[in-house]
């Protein structure tokens, strides 16, 4: 499992990295797609649930091994990717 380290924009100091500690990539888990803490829960699944108007408490009820911070990390990761 690898932790996600992504170079930040050119406006940041050279060599700076943003670390998404809860977002991981592992070829053995979901084919290397962005997952939450090495689990078989992808960032795209969480974003889809949110887009379909599930609330954080509803998601946490459906996936009790997730934490509220995981959902926030998915949103932060998505926001970074589109910036």
pLDDT at 2 over 60: no
Tell me the residue range of the domain where 6 lies: 2-82
Name residue 23's beta-bridge partners: 36
User: Which residues lie closer than 8 Å to 38 by C-beta, 6 or more apart?
Assistant: 1, 24, 26, 29
| Distance (Å, whole) CA 82 – CA 66 | 24
Kindly report the CATH number assigned to the domain that includes residue 77: 1.10.10.10
How many independent structural domains does the chain possess? 1
pLDDT at 24 over 70: yes
pLDDT tens-digit series, residues 56-82: 999 999 999 999 999 999 999 999 999
pLDDT at 49 over 50: yes
For the purposes of burial, counting CB atoms within 10 Å of the CB of 10, is it exposed (0-12), middle (13-18) or buried (19 or more)?
exposed
| Distance (Å, whole) CA 58 – CA 64 | 10
């Amino acid at each position: 499992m690898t932790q996600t380290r992504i170079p930040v924009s050119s406006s940041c100091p050279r060599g700076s990295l943003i670390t998404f500690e809860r977002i991981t990539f592992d070829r053995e888990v979901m084919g290397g797609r962005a997952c939450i803490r090495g689990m078989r829960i992808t960032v795209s699944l969480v974003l889809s649930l949110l887009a379909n108007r599930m609330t954080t408490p509803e998601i946490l009820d459906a996936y009790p091994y997730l934490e509220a911070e995981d959902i926030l990390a998915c949103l932060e990761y998505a926001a970074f990717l589109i910036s």
